Structure 1
Amino acid sequence: MSEADEPDLFRYEGASVGNNSAIVNTVIHLPGTEHFTGIKLETKQQPYGIILAYDWSESSLSHKETAVYNATYLFTLIDNVDWIQFDFDTGSDMKQYRLTREQLEEWYGVELAGINEEDGLKELLKSSFEKEKKLDELLLKSPNQQ
């Protein structure tokens, strides 16, 4: 897919957890979409959250990188989401990560809602993902990491 064909995910910037369409349209354009199996929005009481399920049994992607990458996009674009849980069914076990906005912003050292263009977000992701040890440290702090 050429860059001109890539969807402008920032058109969903400012969406809320209650906007199922904006969230699904974002998720289906992020890594792992071919393995995405479901979504559950937690909107009855704060803190608001999103649970994303994936069938990871045939994926060659890193579930760790996918969780952090996708959470970064969602926290940047969805104003009122406080936490995101990723459930990766690997076929032999379940890998689960729950990341909070606060945790990710502390890890990056930047307020994600303040990023308003995709190039800046991609550069933040690239510089952070070059340090795998740093990624592991973040995910070890994930409350539901299994």
Structure 2
Amino acid sequence: MEVKRIAGYLLFSLLIVLFLDGCAINNDETKDSSEDIFQYNGAVIGDNSAVINIIGQLPHNEKFKEVSLETKNKPYGMSLTYDSLDVPEVGKEYKETAITNATFLFTLVKNAEWITFHFENQTYKITRFKLQDFYSKDLNEFTSQTELNAFVQEQLVNESKVSQLFVQ
């Protein structure tokens, strides 16, 4: 009789554990794959945490190595260093990454005026003024990640325009 009682408790315990496991919330599966990047809208160059959190949600964030923030002298800016990208068209991908990431950073970090991107064998410097001229639109008008990303992707289709942005 005692064995039946122990087996019953074990079975009941197993069922409880399985039930609770099935009801558990798995954050990786239930939340959006990224936070709302626009929660950092209005960040400033001096806010290291916000800048790093923004970079962590941008394209090729897994290749991001370091950021150096220029906060002592105006115009304020930053330098980002990336490991090499493992993609077929590296040059094109570097330019598109620089444009996309600069767009989000300039939109969200209000006092950033320039960004230098250091890739494996290539360096690109983009200024807020030049990027807004490239778009013919004020970056402060955007209010969501989806809207801004769609706008950037539309602009990247024109390869000659993209190349022109990097002509000194």
- Choose the corresponding residue for 1:29, options 57, 77, 81: 57
Q: How does 1:91-110 map to 2 (within 5 A)?
A: 94-110=121-137
Q: How does 1:37-52 map to 2 (within 5 A)?
A: 37-52=65-80
- Specify the alignment match of 1:72 in structure 2: 103
CA distance in structure 2 between the partners assigned to 1:111 and 1:118 by the alignment: 15
Question: How many Å apart are 1:86 and its aligned residue?
Answer: 0.2
| Structure 1 residue 119 corresponds to structure 2 residue 150 | no
| Cα deviation digits, residues 103-134 of structure 1 (max 9, x gap) | 00000011112212222212211210111111
Alignment-mate amino acid for residue 35 of structure 1: K
Please say if residues 35 and 59 of structure 1, whose CA atoms lie closer than 8 Å, have aligned partners that are also in contact: no
Higher helix share: 2
User: Which ranges in structure 2 are unaligned for 5 or more consecutive residues?
Assistant: 1-27
Instruction: Using the aligned pairs only, state the percent identity.
Output: 37
Question: Which structure has more RCO (C-alpha within 8 Å, separation ≥ 6)?
Answer: 1
Please say if residues 14 and 79 of structure 1, whose CA atoms lie closer than 8 Å, have aligned partners that are also in contact: yes
| Structure 1 residue 81 corresponds to structure 2 residue 102 | no
Larger radius of gyration: 2
Higher strand share: 1
- Specify the alignment match of 1:144 in structure 2: none
Aligned-residue CA RMSD (Å): 1.7
CA distance in structure 2 between the partners assigned to 1:42 and 1:32 by the alignment: 22
| Cα deviation digits, residues 70-121 of structure 1 (max 9, x gap) | 00000000000000000002xxxx2000000000000001111221222221
| Structure 1 residue 130 corresponds to structure 2 residue 157 | yes
CA distance in structure 2 between the partners assigned to 1:137 and 1:46 by the alignment: 26
Alignment-mate amino acid for residue 48 of structure 2: N
When the two structures are aligned, how many residues end up with a matched partner? 136
Alignment-mate amino acid for residue 110 of structure 2: D
After the TM superposition, which segments of 4 or more aligned residues of structure 1 sit over 3 Å from their partners? none
